[in-house]
Amino acid sequence: MQNETVIAGFGGQGVLFLGKVMAYAALFEDLKVTWFPSYGPEMRGGTANCTVVISDEEIGSPQVKNPKAIVVMNRPSLDKYEHMVAPGGYLVINTSMVNRKATRTDIHVLEIPSVELAEELGDKRLANTIILGALNEKAKFLKKESLLKGLEESLSHGKKDLLEINKKAMEKGAAYITTQ
Amino acid sequence: MARELWKGNEAFAEAAVRAGLQAYFGYPITPQTEALEYLSARMPELGRAFLQAESELGAINMVYGAACTGARVMTSTSSPGTSLMMEGLSYIAATEVPMVLVDVVRGGPGLGTIQPSQGDYNQIVHGGGHGDYHCIVLAPSTVQEAVDQVYEIFDLAEKYRSIGVILLDGTIGQMIEPAEMPPMREIRKEIPEWAVRGGTGSNKRVLTSVHLVPEDMEVLDLRLIKKWQEVEKNEVRFTEYYMDDAKIAVVGFGTAGRIALSAVRTARALGIPVGLIRPISLSPFPYQAIKEAAAQVDHILVVEMNSGMMLEDVMKVVKDSTNVEFYGRMGGIMPFPDEILSEIQRIASGTTPSDIHPRDRWLKRMESVVDF
């Protein structure tokens, strides 16, 4: 078993954070995991991405040409990554920041108005967690309890007060996508 | 100690602390800076020495001085910084004081890119500094291996009074993986017999790289080579995957080696009898393992993130006994497993023997991949 997720967007959208939540969750499930970030000039130009590979055996490459899931938090990321999703895989589109539809028909496209949903919870910074909740509800790469523990671990440095609302955001993303 | 998530650069820094690192001197450079940043907090916390030098030149000479006192000492940098340190490394090699260098390689030559590369292979494995000397060079392919190798290489450096280098790249430096930290060792209390302690008279010791009488210098040179023979005898490391019945052997180290593993697994699932040899000690190089593989397989595919630097070491022992092929990406580009899989499939479907050097054949094939 191996699955790969690329999360891409602007710096500040919590792209690297989401990847870390997944990495911690994989650790709790005693799986192998790699989290590989963009650290180049593109990051300094405002865009960021990371690749999370989760496997039950020793992981070879920390990046793959055709990941099973790609999360695009903005329009440039959709344009760059749509063609790379593995057939039958998942493309998660943050429709709050993306003004076009996906063109692929051989993949699962999950459209999430994450900022609007986050505002319903009173804090638009929760948009990324809502996205992760929705992706995992469909792709089931990780157990929900592991992701919640992953959130707890990732928010442990002086951000503990944000834990409960983030848990709610993850549930909200999952609930939203099941009604679509 | 349980598995925790560690970023490569911070992980090897902590591993060095646990190995009893007493002094660190360095200068920030991407993609290695997190190590220096981590140690800038961690070392003072433990009452140990951390110093950000004015440049890599300053850092390596501070390492030289501290190493002469017998302290466990380390620096870390990335390719352009490594070039700056070469003079100091040659002096340190001649003085036979142990030290550890971690080189988190990025794309070059020149200021290059900050993306992952293996382009420092020749400068680290085959010298770089002037004169006849060898460094012990280990190449990790995971964060855990980076931790384990840094922890161990201090002992190797001291055993042979030699320079220990960990050669990794931006991938492993920047990547987060689960890793288990080794136990914290106590700082060594006894001072090695050869170390300078500021003594005078009968206690006076001299450590130097200057030997103005050629006959004296030749004795040192010969002794260094003799010592290196011991290293070659004792410290070769490599690992193999699926080699038992392999007819094609992929050879790759570090990040290129682990990417090749993905390709080899997929090829195996397609029924291609292919295995992987991943050299762990680049110096001393696992010549014997390559030689034995060459006797077993029909083809050897060397995969690197450079233009085939290790390729030359492989060819040195394979000679004409087995067909050798090469695939590389450069400048900070990491190959995808698919690219290596395509090479394995191309070889498995039958290649005609050729007198043309594997690098030249690869370069020709690259013309259809990259416009250059």
B156-167 pLDDT tens trace: 999 999 999 999
Chain A positions in Cβ-Cβ contact with residue B338 (cut-off 8 Å) = 65-66
In which residue ranges of chain B is CATH 3.40.50.920 found?
239-366
Helices (H) and strands (E) in chain A, counts: 7, 6
Residues spanned by the domain of A17 = 2-178
- Residue from B177, B303, B340 whose CB has the most chain A CBs within 10 Å, to mutate: B177
Using a CB-CB cut-off of 8 Å, the residues of chain B touching A33 are 177-178
For chains A and B, CB pairs below 8 A equal 65
B1 has pLDDT over 60: no
| Contact flag A39-B30 (C-beta cutoff 8 Å) | yes
Q: How far is CA B106 from CA A100, A110, B47, B261, B311, in A?
A: 37, 37, 32, 22, 19
| Residue B202: count of CB within 10 angstroms of its CB | 5
Residues of B in contact with A59 (CB under 8 A): 177, 258
Phi, psi of B87 (to 5 degrees): -60, -45
Cα distance between residue A99 and residue A92, in whole Å: 14
Distance from C-alpha of B55 to C-alpha of A50, rounded to nearest angstrom: 31
What DSSP designation does A39 have?
-
Q: What are phi and psi of B278, to 5 degrees?
A: -115, 100
pLDDT tens per residue across span B292-311: 999 999 999 999 999 999 99
pLDDT of the residue at B66 = 97
Best B176, B258, B265 member to test A by mutation, with max A CBs in 10 Å, is B176
Q: State the burial class of residue B43 (Cβ atoms within 10 Å of its Cβ: 0-12, 13-18, 19+).
A: buried
Residues of A in contact with B263 (CB under 8 A): 60
Q: What mean pLDDT is reported for chain B?
A: 96
Subunit contact B176:A62, Cβ cutoff 8 A: no
Per-residue pLDDT tens over the stretch B262-296:
999 999 999 999 999 999 999 999 999 999 999 99
| Closest residue in B to A34 (Cα–Cα) | B177
- Give dist(CA A115, CA A172) in Å, integer: 12
Q: In what order do the strands lie in the sheet with B274-279?
A: B238-241, B274-279, B248-251, B299-304, B323-328
DSSP state string for B173-215: HH-EEEE-PPPPPPPP-SPPTT---S--GGG-----S---SHH
Angle at B344 between CA B339 and CA B349, to 5 degrees: 125
Q: Of A175, A119, A141, which Cα lies nearest the Cα of A18?
A: A141
Nearest-angstrom CA–CA distance, B170 and B178:
17
Q: b/e per residue, A112-138, with b = 16+ CB within 10 A?
A: bbbbebbeebeeebbbbbbbbbbbbbb
> How far is B230 from B239, CA to CA, in rounded Å?
21
Query: Please, are residues A177 and A112 in contact by the beta-carbon 8 Å criterion?
Result: yes
Q: Does A63 contact B336 at a Cβ distance shorter than 8 Å?
A: yes
Query: Residue B288 pairs with which residues in a beta bridge?
Result: none
User: For B78-128, what is each residue's pLDDT tens digit?
Assistant: 999 999 999 999 999 999 999 999 999 999 999 999 999 999 999 999 989
Tell me which fold the domain B239-366 belongs to.
Rossmann fold (3.40.50)
Contact criterion met (CB below 8 Å) for A1 and A26: no
Tokens encoding B207? 């450590």
Å from A167 to nearest chain B CA? 21
All residues at 6 or more sequence positions from A7 whose CB lies less than 8 Å from its CB, including other chains: A15, A16, A18, A19, A49, A50, A52, A70, A71, A73
A65 and B3 within 8 Å at the Cβ level: the answer is: no
Q: Nearest 5°: CA angle at A8, between A6 and A10?
A: 165
Cα B154 to Cα B166: distance, rounded to the nearest angstrom: 11
| Dihedral angle sign, alpha carbons of residues B203, B209, B213, B219 | positive
Q: According to the CATH classification, is domain B4-234 in 3.40.50.970? A: yes
Which CATH number covers residue A14?
3.40.920.10
Measure CB to CB from residue B262 to each of A39, A40, A61 and give the nearest one: A61
Task: Give the span between the Cα atoms of B168 and B280, in whole angstroms.
Answer: 11
- Chain A residues with a Cβ under 8 Å from any Cβ in chain B: 20, 23-24, 27, 32-37, 39-41, 58-66
**Integer Cα distance of B116 and B124 in angstroms:** 16
Supply angle C-alpha A155, A161, A162, rounded to 5.
60
User: Which residues belong to CATH 3.40.50.970 in chain B?
Assistant: 4-234
Is B71:B23 a contact under the CB 8 Å cutoff? yes
Nearest to B261 among A60, A65, A66 (CB): A60
Contact: B337, A36; criterion CB under 8 Å: no
pLDDT attached to residue B127 = 85
CA atoms of B273 and B321, how far apart (whole Å): 19
Query: In tens digits, what is the pLDDT along chain A, a chain of 180 residues?
Result: 999 999 999 988 999 999 999 999 999 999 999 999 987 666 555 678 999 999 999 999 999 999 999 999 999 999 999 999 999 999 999 999 999 999 999 999 999 999 999 999 999 999 999 999 999 999 999 999 999 999 999 997 778 889 999 999 999 999 999 998
Q: Which residues of B touch A23 (CB under 8 A)?
A: 5, 176
Of A27, A40, A61, which is closest to B5 when you measure between CB atoms?
A: A27
Number of domains in chain A: 1
The 3 state secondary structure assigned to A85-107 is CCCCCEEEEECCCCCCCCCCCCC
